[in-house]
């Protein structure tokens, strides 16, 4: 049996890609960003009757102008609730986009709800908002875990759609039951426990990308590094090799700030300087004193003083790697950071697009979409890469969404929800999905 779903705050269709392969058929899509909407339409669906913009006017009138559906998905923006908090039911969330989601749920009563948000939703600042969301969903008769599901693509095996990207996100999964039955399951654990696959090892980013792009017909190259960037990398690579040769050990873990590579008597540390920064400054001065002779020669050879300030700072996070060009690199305002080539950071800071050392160029959009779980056939048309990277950064990771959706269906089956019991799960991998509390409660 196929099922229908709606995709709210849809972006470029991460949830669509996840649910389509399980038999999902989109009957309504809402996305306010025009550029993202065009990309969504070009890749997933071209029926203007079910693609809308702002969800607010469709849900704040007398009627909710959204069709009936089995599953509601949404990567909604996080908005804090009002401090007044004296309202009852759905209206308690009024003024937030979560209110609009609740209005759809209250009116259309979907069988399953799957929402995604940033990790900070369950951080100290917003945890009370998260708890209120759970309470309001339960008031509508849904089974919802009080414990959040927090998961990142790099914590999932490739067979489940995992990719080498560190991107922690929170998922809220809700199952429609009658109000009495829903209260029986208030103590359920998260849909998926933290780090659910004990067997997962360290990723090899280069191998992953090489395999995925081996037969790709949709590769969009990106420009190479500029002359000053290449010069800075060559200098720091020689610095790394010289340090290892002389000291027979890895570079220190603290960031290297060359502005303090001078006689200690030449600078004063202000009393207002934070304690952690004072330690870094003193460590840098001690480091320089111990390596002064060869550092001075190195600086002269590579015309180090001509570098821009951010290129004069260096942070080594690549452990035993012996060559910068085998690593992942970021040109940050705080300096050049070099990381072990196991996974990329989350695609959110476009000014810090990771550099693939072995390619001597930034990660391109073809690689980014694969790391976000989108199929090779997905395309951005003639849109510029800056806009495409922004959309990738805002997208729901397809592999993670697929795994969590399967866990939600599995839980619905375990608590004997009639709709889930009638669902055709032949395309699912429910037997291998690590459902939270599986052994304890079922």
Does residue 69 lie in a domain region? yes
User: How confident is the model at residue 152, as a pLDDT?
Assistant: 96
Q: Are 133 and 265 within one domain?
A: no
Residue span of the structural domain in which 433 resides? 3-201+395-441
Our count of domains for the chain comes to 2
Interval 275-292: pLDDT, tens: 999 999 999 999 999 999
Q: Compute the C-alpha angle 334/338/342, nearest 5°.
A: 135
Average pLDDT over every residue of 383-392: 92
Q: Are 12 and 108 within one domain?
A: yes
The CATH number assigned to the domain holding 11 equals 3.40.50.150
327 noted as active-site residue: no
Does residue 370 lie in a domain region? no
Interval 117-163: pLDDT, tens: 988 888 888 888 899 899 999 999 999 999 999 999 999 999 999 99
pLDDT > 80? residue 315 = yes
User: How confident is the model at residue 1, as a pLDDT?
Assistant: 58
User: How confident is the model at residue 367, as a pLDDT?
Assistant: 94
CA dist., res. 353 & res. 331, Å (int): 8
User: How confident is the model at residue 442, as a pLDDT?
Assistant: 44
Interval 8-36: pLDDT, tens: 999 999 999 999 999 999 999 999 999 99
Q: Are 105 and 146 within one domain?
A: yes
Q: Are 167 and 98 within one domain?
A: yes
Interval 54-83: pLDDT, tens: 888 888 888 899 999 999 999 988 776 654
pLDDT > 70? residue 86 = no
Q: What would the two tokens of residue 214 be?
A: 């081996």
Q: Are 35 and 172 within one domain?
A: yes
Q: Are 158 and 275 within one domain?
A: no
Q: Are 154 and 259 within one domain?
A: no
Does residue 379 lie in a domain region? no
**Which range is least confidently modeled, 185-189, 258-262, 309-313?**
185-189
Q: What is the mean pLDDT of the chain?
A: 90
Nearest to 95 by CA among 60, 146, 119, 46: 60
Query: Which letter, b or e, does each residue of 15-50 get, where b requires 16 or more Cβ atoms within 10 Å of its Cβ?
Result: bbbbbbebbbebbbbbbebebbbebbbebbbeeeeb
pLDDT > 60? residue 351 = no
The answer, as to whether pTM is greater than 0.85, is yes
User: How confident is the model at residue 215, as a pLDDT?
Assistant: 76
Nearest to 78 by CA among 45, 119, 111: 119
Domain boundary among 310, 343, 363: 363
Q: Are 348 and 299 within one domain?
A: yes
Indicate the SS3 state at residue 349: coil
Q: Are 197 and 233 within one domain?
A: no
Q: Are 109 and 180 within one domain?
A: yes
Interval 204-254: pLDDT, tens: 999 999 999 887 767 777 778 999 999 999 999 999 999 999 999 999 999
CA dist., res. 189 & res. 397, Å (int): 23
User: How confident is the model at residue 85, as a pLDDT?
Assistant: 47
The H or E element spanning position 297 is: helix 275-301
Q: For residues 438 and 241, which has the higher predicted lDDT (pLDDT)?
A: 241
User: How confident is the model at residue 438, as a pLDDT?
Assistant: 53
Does residue 47 lie in a domain region? yes
Does residue 430 lie in a domain region? yes
Domain boundary among 340, 363, 386: 363
Catalytic residue among 38, 78, 146, 213: 78
User: How confident is the model at residue 288, as a pLDDT?
Assistant: 97
User: How confident is the model at residue 144, as a pLDDT?
Assistant: 94
Domain boundary among 314, 344, 363: 363
User: How confident is the model at residue 60, as a pLDDT?
Assistant: 87
User: How confident is the model at residue 440, as a pLDDT?
Assistant: 45
Indicate the SS3 state at residue 345: strand
């Amino acid at each position: 049996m196929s099922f229908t779903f709606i995709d709210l705050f849809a972006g470029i269709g991460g949830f669509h890609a996840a649910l389509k392969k399980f038999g999902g058929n989109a009957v309504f899509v809402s996305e306010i960003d025009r550029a993202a909407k065009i990309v969504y339409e070009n890749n997933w669906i071209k029926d203007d009757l079910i693609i809308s913009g702002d969800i607010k006017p469709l849900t704040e009138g007398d009627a909710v102008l959204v069709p009936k559906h089995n599953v509601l998905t949404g990567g909604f923006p996080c908005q804090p609730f009002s401090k007044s908090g004296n309202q009852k039911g759905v209206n308690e969330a009024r003024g937030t986009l979560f209110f609009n989601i609740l209005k759809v749920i209250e009116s259309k009563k979907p069988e399953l709800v799957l929402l995604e948000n940033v990790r900070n939703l369950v951080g100290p600042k917003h945890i009370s908002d998260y708890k209120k969301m759970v309470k309001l969903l339960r008031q509508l008769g849904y089974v919802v875990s009080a414990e959040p599901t927090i998961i990142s693509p790099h914590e999932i095996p490739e067979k489940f759609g995992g990719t080498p990207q560190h991107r922690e996100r929170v998922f809220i999964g809700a199952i429609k039951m009658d109000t009495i039955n829903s209260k029986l399951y208030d103590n359920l654990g998260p849909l998926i426990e933290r780090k659910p696959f004990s067997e997962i090892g360290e990723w090899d980013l280069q191998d992953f990308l090489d395999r995925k792009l081996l037969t790709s017909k949709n590769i969009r190259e990106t420009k190479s590094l500029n002359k000053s960037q290449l010069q800075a990398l060559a200098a720091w690579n020689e610095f790394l090799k010289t340090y290892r040769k002389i000291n027979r050990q890895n570079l220190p873990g603290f960031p290297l700030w060359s502005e303090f590579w001078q006689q200690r008597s030449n600078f004063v540390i202000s009393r207002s300087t934070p304690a952690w920064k004072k330690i870094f400054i003193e460590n840098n001065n001690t480091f320089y004193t111990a390596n002064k002779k060869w550092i001075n020669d190195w600086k002269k050879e590579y015309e180090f003083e001509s570098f821009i300030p951010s290129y004069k700072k260096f942070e080594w996070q690549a452990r035993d790697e012996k060559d910068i060009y085998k690593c992942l690199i970021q040109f940050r305002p705080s300096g050049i950071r070099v990381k072990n080539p196991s996974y990329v950071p989350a695609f959110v800071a476009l000014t810090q697009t990771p550099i693939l050392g072995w390619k001597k160029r930034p990660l391109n959009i073809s690689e980014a979409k694969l790391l976000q779980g989108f199929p090779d056939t997905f395309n951005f048309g003639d849109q510029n890469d800056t806009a495409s990277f922004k959309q990738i950064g805002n997208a729901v990771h397809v592999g993670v969404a697929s795994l969590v959706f399967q866990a939600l269906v599995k839980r619905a089956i375990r608590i004997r929800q009639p709709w889930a019991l009638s669902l055709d799960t032949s395309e699912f991998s429910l037997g291998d999905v690590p459902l939270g509390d599986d052994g304890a409660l079922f």
